[in-house]
Structure 1
Amino acid sequence: MKVNWNYIKAFALLVLVVFLYSFSSARNKRRNLERIEVHFTNDENLYITETAVNKLLIQKHDSVQNLAKETLDLKVIENRLDTDEMIEDAEVYLTVNGRLEAVISQRRPIARVYGNESYYIDVNGKHMPLSTNYSARVPFIKSIEEEHIPEVYPLVMKIDKDEFLKEHITLIKRNQKGEYVLEMRLYDFEILFGEANSIENKIKNLKAFYKKALLDNQLGTYKWVNLKFENQVVCTKKG
Structure 2
Amino acid sequence: MKHKLKYIKLPVLVILVAFLFGFAEKRNNARKVSEVKVQFIAGENLYVTEEAVNKLLIQNDVAAAGIDKEILDLNRVERLLNNHDMIENAEAFLSLDGKLQTKISQRKPIGRIVGSSSFYLDKNGLEMPLSPYYSARVPLLLDIDSSNIEKVYPLVSYIQQDKFLTQHITGVRRLPGNKFELQMRKLDFKVYFGKAENIALKLNNFKAFYKKALQDEKLETYKKVNLQFGDQVVCTKK
Q: Could you say which TM-score interval applies, normalised by the shorter chain? A: 0.7 to 0.9
> Equivalent residues in 2 for 1:205-220 (5 A)?
205-220=205-220
Q: What amino acid does structure 1 have at the position aligned with 2:236?
A: T
Counterpart of 1:5 in structure 2 is none
Which structure 1 segments of 5+ residues have no match?
1-26
Shift of 1:167: 0.3
DSSP 3-state at the match of 1:146: coil
Cα shift readout 1:66-113 (whole Å, capped 9, x = no counterpart): 321112111011100000000000000112221111000000001111
> Equivalent residues in 2 for 1:84-103 (5 A)?
84-103=84-103
Cα shift readout 1:178-206 (whole Å, capped 9, x = no counterpart): 21000111211000000110111101210
Cα distance in 1 for partners of 2:39, 2:89 equals 12
Contact 1:110 1:138 in 2 (8 A): yes
Shift of 1:61: 5.1
Normalising by structure 2, what TM-score? 0.84
Compared with structure 1, are the counterparts of its residues 226 and 185 closer, same or farther at alpha carbon in structure 2 (3 Å cutoff)? same
Contact 1:160 1:166 in 2 (8 A): yes
Normalising by structure 1, what TM-score? 0.84
Counterpart of 1:109 in structure 2 is 109
Q: How many residues align structurally?
A: 212
Which structure 2 segments of 5+ residues have no match?
1-26
Q: What amino acid does structure 1 have at the position aligned with 2:152?
A: V
Compared with structure 1, are the counterparts of its residues 35 and 29 closer, same or farther at alpha carbon in structure 2 (3 Å cutoff)? closer
Counterpart of 2:68 in structure 1 is 68
Cα distance in 2 for partners of 1:131, 1:82 equals 16
Q: What amino acid does structure 2 have at the position aligned with 1:51?
A: E
Contact 2:62 2:76 in 1 (8 A): no
Cα distance in 1 for partners of 2:62, 2:73 equals 18
Cα distance in 1 for partners of 2:220, 2:45 equals 39
Shift of 1:37: 0.7
Cα distance in 2 for partners of 1:58, 1:75 equals 16
Cα shift readout 1:41-88 (whole Å, capped 9, x = no counterpart): 125351000011112233345983532111211101110000000000
Cα distance in 2 for partners of 1:95, 1:217 equals 60
Compared with structure 1, are the counterparts of its residues 65 and 226 closer, same or farther at alpha carbon in structure 2 (3 Å cutoff)? closer
Counterpart of 1:153 in structure 2 is 153
> Equivalent residues in 2 for 1:17-96 (5 A)?
31-44=31-44, 46-60=46-60, 64-96=64-96
Q: Which runs of 4+ in 1 moved over 3 A?
A: 27-30, 60-66
Cα distance in 2 for partners of 1:200, 1:147 equals 25
> Equivalent residues in 2 for 1:78-227 (5 A)?
78-227=78-227
Compared with structure 1, are the counterparts of its residues 131 and 64 closer, same or farther at alpha carbon in structure 2 (3 Å cutoff)? same
Cα shift readout 1:150-193 (whole Å, capped 9, x = no counterpart): 11111111100111100000010011232100011121100000
Cα distance in 1 for partners of 2:110, 2:163 equals 13
Cα distance in 1 for partners of 2:127, 2:63 equals 33
RMSD of aligned Cα (Å): 1.9
Contact 2:57 2:77 in 1 (8 A): yes
Cα distance in 2 for partners of 1:219, 1:172 equals 20
Cα distance in 1 for partners of 2:77, 2:65 equals 18
Contact 1:30 1:70 in 2 (8 A): no
Q: What amino acid does structure 2 have at the position aligned with 1:68?
A: D
DSSP 3-state at the match of 1:141: strand
